[in-house]
Amino acid sequence: MVTTQKQNDAFVAKYLKRNIVVQLTQGLFGQTGFRLFAAPTFLPVYLYSLSGSEFVVGLARSLEAVGQMLTPMVGASLIGHRKKLLGITLTSSILMRLQMLFIALTGLFFGSTDFGLWLIIFFMVLLGIMQGISVVMMNSLRAKVIPVHRRGFVAGWRNFLSNGATAIIAYFAGGYLIDNNILGDGYAALFLLAFFIASLGIIAFTFTKEPVGLELRKRENIQQSFKSLKPLFRTNPHFSRFFLVTVLGSIGRMAMPFYILFAGTRMELSGAMLGLLTTIWMLSGTVTNLLWGEIADRKGYRIVMVITLAMWILAHCQLLMIQEVYGVMVFFVVFGIAFSGFNQARMNMVLELGADADIPLRVAASNMASNTVGAVGPLLGGLIVLAMGYEIIFIICIFVQTIALIVMLSSVPEPRLSEIKITEDNDMI
């Protein structure tokens, strides 16, 4: 029996409340665990405590991002032709979370050794690989079960719940687990806690009710998926310019591992202080996520991306002027608002910039662009720190992100106000 678009829409409407609850529950646990692990405080400081080198911190983050950079197209090639995505999405998500477990166990058993340090970095690479695949699948599945006019609500509340939970856990766990060196390695204990929390999100995700896909691409291998990018960029100029904004705006990821290390030159960094700064970072984004979602449902995600990109630029400007602990706190407030909103807008706006059949390909290309910057940036940033100091990194980010903001304002329209439904006919089933 062939499913029509009308039947598909009826299915989505029938199970919308259920799928919203699933998405929010998965966000509460899945995103909380991962954000606790990936916060720009605990892991960079842990790596620095093991290596004593800013370059190694940047190298580790770069290698992790290399995995994220290379594998989004793998995710697109695995799901573009599939009518159902839930099973393979669950598999990739479980594999991603297992790397968090392996990092925690490595820290507990080998963390104080050189072998332990490089084993942690190895699992960070595997984490990046699985994350690159999983994010494409997760976002593509979310686009199937949550209609456009409700995505802002879902994204806002997912981030609100996960950021709030992460902030609370980071505050208490940072002060207790790290300062008391629980299990003999407080950081590893924290990462183990993050793994268990993230795993609860996978259990919730199994309750998703997914409609059959209607607009599908032909089955493609990875090489064919990469070749599909050229016609995608050629026939969809709005997405092409959005892609450029993603690349330039994401340059801020170059500086992220060094925010907390730079803060350490202005203040003493105890476990409690790391927990406090992580809490500030999370709560600042949490408070505004609902606002971004409400604005997006009413006006679209373009305006959210413009505002948050401008705020990220201002945060870098403010960071150059801090001299004491209160300035560091203010920076993490502004950065938390900007980073959370920018990513929320980037990940949701890309879903609207073209035909539904091309969603996996667009998500993969956008994530690949952001992660390419994330791969090269921290490594380059580590070299810049060694040669010229922290300030130069932030100045570079200000300059490049300003260019991104200009391109966004002048060349990328709001997709909900224009008809962007372009795909190559010979790529369709």
Domains of the chain, residue spans: 5-209+218-424
How is residue 146 written in tokens? 């949550």
CB 427 within 8 A of CB 236: no
The pTM of the whole model exceeds 0.85: no
Dihedral sign, Cα of residue 401, residue 406, residue 409, residue 412: negative
What are the tens digits of pLDDT across the range 171-188?
777 678 887 888 888 888
Decide: 12 and 150 in contact? Cβ < 8 Å: no
Report d(CA 207, CA 110) in Å as an integer: 38
Burial code (b: 16+ CB inside 10 Å, e: under 16) for 96-108 equals bbbbbbbbbbbbb
CB 363 within 8 A of CB 72: yes
Rounded-to-integer distance, Cα 28 and Cα 34, Å: 10
The pLDDT confidence band at residue 425, using thresholds 50, 70 and 90, is very low
Confidence check: pLDDT of 405 > 90:
yes
Q: State the amino acid at position 396 in one-letter form.
A: I
Q: What is the pLDDT of residue 1?
A: 44
Residues 6+ apart with CB under 8 A from 79: 85, 88, 89, 136, 137, 140, 360
Q: Tell me how many degrees the CA angle 46-52-53 measures, rounded to the nearest 5.
A: 100
The CATH T-level fold of domain 5-209+218-424 is Growth Hormone; Chain: A; (1.20.1250)
* Closest listed residue to residue 338, CA positions, set 255, 240, 412, 265: 255
In this prediction, residues 352-373 reach a mean pLDDT of 79
**Residue 11 scores a pLDDT above 60:** yes
Handedness of CA 211, 217, 221, 227 (dihedral sign): negative
- pLDDT number for residue 423: 46
Q: Report how far residue 364's alpha carbon sits from residue 226's, in angstroms, rounded to the nearest whole number.
A: 10
Determine the longest span between alpha carbons in the chain, in angstroms. Answer: 67
Place of tokens 């990194």: 393
Distance of CA 401 to the CA centre of its chain: 18
Q: What is the pLDDT of residues 287-314, one digit of tens each?
A: 787 888 888 888 888 999 999 999 999 9
DSSP-derived secondary structure for 63-101? HHHHHHHHSHHHHHHHHTT-S--HHHHHHHHHHHHHHHH
Mean pLDDT over residues 315-341, rounded? 85
**Tokens describing residue 224:** 């064919």
pLDDT digits (tens, 9 = 90+) for 318-330: 888 887 778 888 8
Q: How many whole angstroms separate alpha carbon 190 and alpha carbon 108?
A: 11
Residue 65 and residue 375 in contact, taking contact as beta carbons nearer than 8 Å: yes
Encoded tokens for 182 = 């629980």
